[in-house]
């Protein structure tokens, strides 16, 4: 010990410094001999240093080996203790490692794309109208990326899907339509063949590059596929190359890349933000620099083209950030919750160590008295912590693997890059860091009694006076555990409240007993043809589609049990399918403020009935609303309220956008229906109008695909439905067969994921904190058993004793609850990302944590309180 | 601690050997080792005391109450002696070495150098 006399102090500093490399107990126990030796036979520095350097590692290894053996024996000797402490740590480490692995793969690690750090995503957004990261208009893209001192290459792309025919199978596949420089932005080399070039991006372009996954899945990895053709939406496309497995952009499911082939007219468009954009920066150009310059360009575009660009701003982000921006906060949140739980676990184990330290106090003191220096004892305790933490971490990695496999199906619905999530070397390193941190924390706590160094107190006078310091420390730990548990529980309660709220609000439809699937006929209108040809071609396709869907719905309605069936071009909760908006005859101008942003949804007769969307006034679209008859529409309550206030909407007119130089088509309102949350359940209601499918060209996304809803059947009827659909549309893909309840469920996957994680973590935190309180009180009872025994002997009332212990437990839990609630209140800003429609200071959520913790404290105190009554005066006093 | 007489490191062997004939203190052990090995093994103080520590922990060596004549005795010194298992370990290691040497000699005899 440094405080006591040490013979080595008498040596010159040059010897002492080097001798410090030897284990302390060698120095301590042979200090006198070393001093004498070195004083009597002063060696020269060279050989002396060499000798110490040679001896030190072996000596340290000897100590470590002994301590490891001792630690293993110690753990075996108290299996219950080891199991509880080990499991606690393993669960804490496992949860934490699982979420680190997730975050590492999704947020931290760079995309597996060549020099991805120099690729940016460029998007426009209109914050005022709530259109965030909305896409970009081609003309704006050109103006923004014109500066070649900033950009090496830039490209637009769109995520699309098409019906691919391979042999007799039709399959709906997602693909990307990309402009000429796409593969100059992404410079990954193809696995075989070539990438797409500018020369490919022409009208009637037919070259495609396959993704590795699709090549494997659809072609069995046949290298001879290059040069062959793949029929997509009825058009044969030529395979010219295959990309490597690592290249997964825009998504992991992208089947192939084909030229986007925008027309000159489309490149001129400034108001329609229908493509996405990426660009490669020149080396030496930083992202903030580009972001600032692009924002400035965006502002000047807004001045030059107020009609299309007013209110819009430009956002430039690193590609990785753009891809994961939506999940960043929720993921960091669950990781933070995991970190808190780990902290609780470590605190708990530290508290257990402390409890045991009391039991071992005499043993330690005895060893000290017999010559073992405190340093040696501390080292032994640290090694024991290290062994325990390492074993727990090994189990923790197993737990993490298990957790990830459970999370994967749920998270895949909303977390990008899930396929990259796997336990690997970085996970193990992270676990090693956790082990070291946990060991450090454990060691500091567990060695407190030893470092207190009042060894003689413990042996002699200590018989009656327990270490106040250790008791305070343990209480502090328990209160902190309780506070952390409350914090996590409040977060969980907020998510529960939000989810309940989101699911309980009127959705505008009745999801029970509704089956839905999508039909996508492969007909495409050739937009490059002359306007008249396009219009007549579209009219022909419309007739074909109309007749087809009418026949399909008739056959579906004939299935036993089916009460109604209908179709809509885009089903609610399947994506944010915005449309550009409509105008009113009173304000027919083309200015931005004259347009009412609206979801325009073509529907067949029977759709609103099948979905269970209630008609508030007037009627729903009917079979009589055919092509050639008066054009009608149905608005939702939100559209009516925002447009006409409280006035009756029935009979009013709305203007749509017609073909250029044609009079704007107008339609008359014949009904008002309840509002439906189209894009997300946890978003504002947006104005929506329904137009009869037979009449309106509006609201289509250049396809004739429809989501069909059938009321009265379960997904088990899927095969029959497929057969019927194939009969009507032999060349169409039929996909996404699901119950409407599943659609709702998938749309809330992110919140259910948060709920699951916070719920599990909250539960673990609560259990751990309960064990913590129980442990501390047990120790307190054990320490006070003499006092208790005296009181029992003097005839104290048992209920008084019992409540005495209970009060102690409630004080600990109450203190923790108070701190936890204050913490949760202070963290309101962090919590705001978790909630929707519920206040972050929701009293019910804020109360849930403390109530649970106080109940837990009460339960935890029951065992020690009961034990207090069983103290045998004779046994206690004999001790 | 060790009942098994696994191979001893050369340092441990020489220290045990130095204590086989008589009890010695640290410095005398170093001198004896130097003599036993014709100066080939010179133990520095670091190596020596770390090794003694290990041998003590392993139960092969212990502190000895023995002291030489009062006038010769350096009273400050701690003397060490072999324990029972220390002697057994030394014995076993020596046997092992003798077996090795005998084997080596036989090999050299059967295949004389050309």
A541: in domain: yes
Look at A5-19, A131-145, B21-35 and tell me which has the smallest mean pLDDT: A5-19
Quick one: chain A helix, strand, coil %, rounded to 5? 55, 15, 30
A621: in domain: yes
CB-CB contact of A55 with B30 (8 Å): no
Tell me the shortest Cα–Cα distance from B112 to chain A, in angstroms.
40
CATH number of B10-110: 1.10.10.10
Distances (CA, A) of A608 to A53, A569, A676, B30: 85, 13, 11, 100
Q: Last residue of some domain: A730, A758, A781?
A: A730
Minimal Cβ distance to A59: which of B26, B50, B77:
B50
A804 confidence band (pLDDT: 50, 70, 90): confident
- pLDDT at position A740 is 92
A111: in domain: no
Sign of CA dihedral A280, A283, A286, A289: negative
Q: Do A30 and B52 make contact, defined as CB atoms within 8 angstroms? A: yes
Residue of B nearest to A24 (CA): B50
Contacts of B42 in chain A (CB under 8 A): 47
d(CA B2, CA B4): 5
Q: Tell which of A26, A31, A32, A38 to mutate to test the B interface (max B CBs under 10 Å).
A: A26
Tell me chain A's radius of gyration from C-alpha atoms.
Answer: 36
Interface A:B, Cβ pairs < 8 A: 69
CB-CB contact of B81 with B62 (8 Å): yes
Q: Are residues A725 and A754 in the same domain?
A: no
A-facing residues of B in 18-37 (CB < 8 A) are: 25-27
- pLDDT at position A528 is 64
Predicted confidence (pLDDT) at residue A186 exceeds the cutoff of 90: yes
- pLDDT at position A349 is 86
- Residue A22 in contact with partner chain B when CB distance is under 8 A: yes
- pLDDT at position A378 is 76
Higher-confidence residue of A456 and A838: namely A838
Q: Are residues A169 and A295 in the same domain?
A: yes
Query: pLDDT tens digit string along A72-127?
Result: 888 888 887 788 888 889 988 998 898 899 889 888 888 888 888 899 999 998 87
Q: Do A23 and B50 make contact, defined as CB atoms within 8 angstroms? A: yes
Q: Do B45 and A29 make contact, defined as CB atoms within 8 angstroms? A: no
Query: pLDDT tens digit string along B58-108?
Result: 889 998 887 766 555 555 678 899 999 999 999 999 999 999 999 999 988
Quote the domain boundaries for residue A31: 7-64
- Residue A48 in contact with partner chain B when CB distance is under 8 A: yes
What does the pLDDT average to over A62-66? 83
Residue of A nearest to B25 (CA): A33
Q: Are residues A652 and A724 in the same domain?
A: yes
d(CA A134, CA A394): 45
- Residue B90 in contact with partner chain A when CB distance is under 8 A: no
d(CA A788, CA A805): 11
- pLDDT at position A458 is 47
Predicted confidence (pLDDT) at residue A427 exceeds the cutoff of 70: yes
The total of structural domains in chain A comes to 4
Map tokens 């129980």 to a residue.
A774
Contacts of A26 in chain B (CB under 8 A): 49-50, 53
Minimal Cβ distance to A30: which of B42, B53, B76:
B53
Q: Do A56 and B46 make contact, defined as CB atoms within 8 angstroms? A: yes
Helices A319-359, A468-504: inter-axial angle, 10-degree rounding: 140
Listed ranges A21-25, A145-149, A416-420, A536-540; the one with the highest mean pLDDT: A145-149
- Residue B99 in contact with partner chain A when CB distance is under 8 A: no
How far the first Cα of chain B sits from its last, in Å, is 50
Tell me the shortest Cα–Cα distance from A283 to chain B, in angstroms.
57
Q: Tell which of A16, A29, A33 to mutate to test the B interface (max B CBs under 10 Å).
A: A33
Q: Are residues A308 and A440 in the same domain?
A: no
Q: Tell which of A8, A51, A375 to mutate to test the B interface (max B CBs under 10 Å).
A: A51
A334: in domain: yes
Q: Do A22 and B27 make contact, defined as CB atoms within 8 angstroms? A: no
Q: Are residues A318 and A354 in the same domain?
A: no
- pLDDT at position A8 is 80
Q: φ, ψ for residue A170 (rounded to 5)?
A: -105, 135
Look at chain A and count its residues: 879
Higher-confidence residue of A790 and A698: namely A790
Contacts of A22 in chain B (CB under 8 A): 46, 49-50
Map tokens 């006038």 to a residue.
B71
State pTM to two decimals.
0.72
Predicted confidence (pLDDT) at residue A326 exceeds the cutoff of 80: no
Predicted confidence (pLDDT) at residue A769 exceeds the cutoff of 50: yes
Q: Do B47 and A26 make contact, defined as CB atoms within 8 angstroms? A: no
Tell me the shortest Cα–Cα distance from A775 to chain B, in angstroms.
35
Q: Do A51 and B53 make contact, defined as CB atoms within 8 angstroms? A: no
Contacts of B47 in chain A (CB under 8 A): 51, 54-55
Contacts of B73 in chain A (CB under 8 A): none
d(CA A429, CA A423): 11
Contacts of A48 in chain B (CB under 8 A): 44-46
d(CA A216, CA A259): 22
Q: Do B46 and A22 make contact, defined as CB atoms within 8 angstroms? A: yes
Predicted confidence (pLDDT) at residue A4 exceeds the cutoff of 60: no
A69: in domain: no
The pair of structure tokens assigned to A554 is 């008739």
CB-CB contact of A572 with A678 (8 Å): yes
Q: Do A38 and B49 make contact, defined as CB atoms within 8 angstroms? A: no
Contacts of B27 in chain A (CB under 8 A): 36-37, 40-41
What does the pLDDT average to over A34-60? 85
Map tokens 């924390």 to a residue.
A441
- pLDDT at position A452 is 53
Distances (CA, A) of A139 to A155, A265, A298, A313, A872: 12, 10, 12, 14, 89
A210 confidence band (pLDDT: 50, 70, 90): very high
Looking at the DSSP bridge assignments, the partners of residue A258 are A177
The pair of structure tokens assigned to A344 is 């609780």
Q: Are residues A311 and A215 in the same domain?
A: yes
What does the pLDDT average to over B18-26? 89
CB-CB contact of A693 with A549 (8 Å): yes
Contacts of B46 in chain A (CB under 8 A): 18-19, 22, 48, 51-52, 54-56
Look at A154-168, A353-367, A664-678 and tell me which has the smallest mean pLDDT: A353-367
Look at A381-395, A518-532, A798-812, A818-832 and tell me which has the smallest mean pLDDT: A518-532
Q: Do A48 and B25 make contact, defined as CB atoms within 8 angstroms? A: no
Look at A387-396, A398-407, A823-832 and tell me which has the smallest mean pLDDT: A823-832
CB-CB contact of A192 with A209 (8 Å): no
Residue A521: count of CB within 10 angstroms of its CB: 23
- pLDDT at position A360 is 66
- pLDDT at position B19 is 92
Q: Tell which of B42, B44, B63 to mutate to test the A interface (max A CBs under 10 Å).
A: B44
Q: Tell which of B9, B25, B49, B58 to mutate to test the A interface (max A CBs under 10 Å).
A: B49
Q: Are residues A813 and A688 in the same domain?
A: no
Work out the burial of residue A392: count CB atoms within 10 Å of its CB; fewer than 13 is exposed, 13-18 middle, 19 or more buried.
buried
Q: Are residues A797 and A721 in the same domain?
A: no
DSSP output for A584-635: BTTB---SGGG-B--EEEEE-TTHHHHHTPPEEEE----TT--TTS--EEEE
Q: Last residue of some domain: A675, A696, A730?
A: A730
A394 confidence band (pLDDT: 50, 70, 90): very high
Q: What is the mean pLDDT of chain A?
A: 85
In terms of C-beta distances under 8 Å and separation of at least 24 residues, what long-range contacts does A699-704 make, across chains too? A699/A569, A699/A579, A699/A599, A699/A600, A699/A601, A699/A602, A700/A569, A700/A602, A701/A569, A701/A570, A701/A577, A702/A524, A702/A525, A702/A527, A703/A520, A703/A521, A703/A524, A704/A520, A704/A521, A704/A523, A704/A541, A704/A542, A704/A545
Ordered by start, the domain boundaries in chain B are: 10-110
The pair of structure tokens assigned to A535 is 């219009």
Q: Do B54 and A62 make contact, defined as CB atoms within 8 angstroms? A: yes
d(CA A801, CA B81): 59
Q: Are residues A757 and A708 in the same domain?
A: no
* Interface predicted TM-score (ipTM) of this complex, two decimals: 0.79
Minimal Cβ distance to B76: which of A25, A36, A51:
A36
What does the pLDDT average to over A332-355? 83
């Amino acid at each position: 010990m440094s405080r006591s006399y040490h013979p080595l102090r008498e040596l010159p500093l040059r010897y002492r410094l080097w001798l410090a490399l030897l284990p302390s107990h060698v120095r301590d126990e042979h200090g006198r001999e070393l001093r004498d030796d070195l004083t009597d036979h002063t060696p020269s520095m060279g050989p002396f240093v060499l000798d110490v350097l040679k001896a030190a590692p072996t000596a340290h290894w000897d100590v470590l080996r002994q301590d490891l053996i001792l630690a293993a024996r110690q753990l075996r000797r108290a299996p219950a203790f080891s199991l509880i402490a080990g499991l606690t740590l393993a669960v804490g480490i496992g949860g934490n490692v699982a979420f680190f692995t997730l975050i590492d793969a999704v947020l931290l690690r760079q995309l597996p794309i060549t020099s991805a750090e120099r690729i940016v995503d460029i998007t426009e957004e209109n914050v005022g109208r709530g259109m965030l990261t909305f896409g970009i208009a081609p003309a704006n893209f050109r103006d923004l990326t014109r500066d070649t001192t900033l950009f090496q290459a830039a490209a637009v792309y769109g995520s699309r899907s098409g019906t691919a025919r391979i042999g007799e199978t039709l399959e709906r596949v997602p693909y990307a339509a990309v402009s000429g420089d796409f593969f100059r932005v992404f410079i990954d080399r193809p696995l075989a063949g070539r990438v797409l070039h500018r020369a490919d991006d022409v009208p009637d372009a037919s070259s495609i590059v396959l993704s590795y996954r699709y090549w494997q899945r659809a072609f069995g990895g046949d290298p001879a596929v290059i040069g062959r053709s793949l029929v997509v939406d009825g058009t044969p496309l030529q395979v010219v190359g295959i990309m490597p497995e690592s290249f997964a952009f825009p998504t992991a499911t992208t089947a192939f890349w084909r030229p986007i082939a925008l027309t000159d007219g489309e490149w001129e468009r400034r108001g329609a933000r229908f493509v996405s954009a990426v660009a490669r920066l020149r080396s030496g150009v930083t992202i903030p620099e580009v972001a600032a310059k692009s924002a400035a360009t965006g502002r000047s575009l807004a001045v030059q083209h107020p009609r299309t660009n007013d209110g819009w701003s430009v956002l430039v982000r690193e590609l990785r950030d753009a891809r994961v921006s939506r999940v960043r906060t929720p993921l960091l949140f669950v990781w933070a919750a995991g970190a808190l739980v780990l902290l609780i676990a470590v605190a708990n184990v530290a508290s257990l160590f402390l409890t045991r330290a009391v039991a071992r106090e005499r043993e330690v003191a005895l060893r000290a008295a017999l010559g073992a220096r405190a340093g040696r004892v501390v080292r032994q305790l640290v090694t024991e912590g290290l062994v325990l933490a390492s074993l727990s971490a090994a189990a923790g990695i197993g737990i993490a693997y298990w957790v990830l496999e459970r999370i994967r199906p749920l998270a895949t619905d909303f977390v990008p890059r899930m396929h990259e999530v796997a336990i690997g070397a970085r996970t193990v390193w992270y676990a090693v860091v956790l082990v070291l941190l946990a060991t450090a924390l454990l060691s500091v706590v567990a060695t407190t009694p030893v470092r207190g160094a009042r060894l003689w107190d413990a042996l002699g006078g200590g018989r009656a006076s327990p270490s106040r310091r250790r008791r305070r420390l343990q209480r502090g730990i328990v209160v902190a555990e309780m506070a952390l548990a409350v914090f996590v529980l409040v977060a969980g309660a907020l998510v529960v409240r939000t989810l309940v709220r989101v699911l309980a609000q009127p959705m505008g439809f009745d999801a029970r007993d509704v089956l839905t699937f999508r039909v996508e006929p492969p007909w495409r209108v050739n937009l490059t043809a002359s306007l008249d040809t396009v219009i007549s071609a579209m009219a022909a396709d419309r007739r074909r589609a109309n007749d087809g869907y009418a026949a399909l719905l008739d056959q579906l309605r004939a299935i036993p049990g089916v009460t109604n069936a209908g179709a809509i071009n885009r089903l609610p909760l399947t994506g944010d399918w915005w449309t550009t908006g409509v105008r009113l005859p009173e304000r027919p101008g083309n200015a931005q403020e004259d347009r009412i942003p609206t979801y325009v949804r073509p529907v067949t007769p029977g759709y609103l009935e099948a979905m269970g969307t209630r008609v508030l006034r007037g009627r729903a679209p009917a079979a009589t609303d055919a092509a050639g008859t008066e054009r009608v529409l149905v608005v939702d309550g939100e559209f009516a309220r925002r447009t006409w206030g409280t006035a009756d909407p029935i009979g009013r007119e709305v203007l749509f956008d017609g073909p250029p130089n044609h009079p704007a088509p107008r339609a008359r309102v014949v009904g008002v229906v309840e509002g439906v949350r189209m894009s997300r359940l946890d978003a504002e209601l947006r104005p929506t109008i329904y137009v009869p499918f037979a009449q309106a060209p509006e609201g289509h996304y250049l396809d004739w695909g429809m989501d069909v809803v059938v009321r009265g059947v379960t997904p088990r009827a899927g095969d029959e439905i497929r057969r019927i659909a194939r009969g009507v549309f032999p060349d169409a893909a039929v996909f996404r067969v699901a119950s409407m309840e599943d659609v709702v469920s998938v749309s809330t996957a992110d919140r259910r994921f948060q709920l699951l994680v916070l719920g599990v973590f909250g539960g673990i935190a609560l259990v751990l904190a309960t064990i913590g309180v129980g442990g501390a009180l047990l120790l307190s009872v054990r320490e006070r058993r003499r006092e208790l025994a005296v009181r029992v002997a003097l005839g104290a009332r048992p209920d008084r004793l019992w409540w005495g212990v209970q009060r102690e437990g409630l004080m600990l839990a109450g203190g923790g609850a108070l701190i936890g609630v204050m913490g949760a209140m202070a963290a309101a800003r962090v919590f705001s990302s978790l909630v929707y429609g519920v206040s972050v200071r929701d009293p019910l959520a804020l109360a849930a944590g403390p109530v649970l913790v106080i109940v837990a404290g009460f339960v935890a105190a029951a065992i020690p309180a009961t034990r207090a009554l069983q103290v045998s005066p004779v046994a206690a006093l004999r001790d | 601690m060790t009942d098994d007489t696994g191979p001893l490191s050369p340092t441990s062997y020489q220290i045990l050997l130095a204590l086989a004939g008589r009890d010695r203190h640290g410095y005398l052990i170093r001198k004896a080792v130097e003599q036993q090995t014709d100066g080939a093994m010179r133990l520095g103080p670091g190596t020596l005391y770390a090794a003694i520590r290990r041998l003590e922990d392993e139960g092969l060596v212990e502190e000895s109450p023995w002291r030489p004549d009062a006038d010769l005795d350096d009273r400050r010194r701690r003397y060490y002696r072999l324990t029972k298992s220390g002697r057994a370990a030394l014995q076993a290691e020596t046997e092992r070495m003798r077996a090795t040497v005998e084997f080596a000699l036989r090999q050299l005899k059967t295949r004389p150098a050309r």
